[in-house]
Amino acid sequence: MPNNRFVTKVFPSVSRAERWTRNSHESGVLWLTGLSGAGKSTLAMNVSRILFEQGIHTYVLDGDNLRTGLNADLGFSSSDRTENIRRAAEVAETLADSGAIVFAAFISPMVADRKLASQIIKSNFHEVYVKASLFSCEQRDIKGLYRLARAGTIQNFTGVSALYETPEKASLIIDTDHSTISQSTNDLLHFVKRNFLRPDDADDIHGVVW
């Protein structure tokens, strides 16, 4: 670690609390963890869209997208995965500080890395386990990655050649093996509503008909 003892922290001219008042909702991070193909990004995108249309400030931070930009220098070794999650959490925290309800969709297979993320996020961190069996994810194989992982073309692939540590105390579990996209979306939507909106406003947030 470099010596940054001469770095002076600057206090913001707009506080997080002021942003919450302005937006009429709190901000924070929904950390979606689960296997590739479990439905993390789909759920994040769906709920973000519904909330946006109802005037809520949301943003989706997606593992794949971050790896084409901020984390393009990182691979899939254990230490690179940790650094990937550390940076993702820092960006999620910054977005939350700016007033957004952030959906962070990252496989984030290790308990320790998710714990690190929870420590970086200063308020309203919620771990959401998007649960699906390896069998289901591999059958779906929307991106064709499981096939490549089985063939050995992709190394360190979570579920196939790298471990996924199941969350033991997630704030919310969404089981996409046993509920439809519509049901799963509504479950996440109502969780956000309960945790980020004032009771009166939460009543006005509707689910979606598919």
Residues 162-191 that bind a copy of itself (CB under 8 A): none
The reply to whether 135 sits near a copy of itself by the rule CB under 8 A is no
Query: Nearest distance from residue 52's CB to a copy of itself, in Å?
Result: 5
Q: Which is nearer to a copy of itself, 8 or 169 (CB)?
A: 8
Q: How far apart are CA 29 and CA 33, in angstroms?
A: 12
The reply to whether 209 sits near a copy of itself by the rule CB under 8 A is no
Helices (H), the chain: 16-23, 40-53, 63-66, 78-97, 111-120, 134-140, 145-150, 181-196, 199-202
Of 91-99, 133-141, 174-182, 184-192, which part binds a copy of itself (CB under 8 A)?
Answer: 91-99
Establish whether 133 is a catalytic residue.
Answer: no
**Torsion sign over Cα 51, 52, 57, 61:** positive
The reply to whether 79 sits near a copy of itself by the rule CB under 8 A is no
**Torsion sign over Cα 148, 157, 33, 1:** negative
Q: How far apart are CA 32 and CA 27, in angstroms?
A: 16
The reply to whether 116 sits near a copy of itself by the rule CB under 8 A is no
Of 6-14, 27-35, 124-132, 175-183, which part binds a copy of itself (CB under 8 A)?
Answer: 6-14
Give the residue numbers marked as catalytic: 108
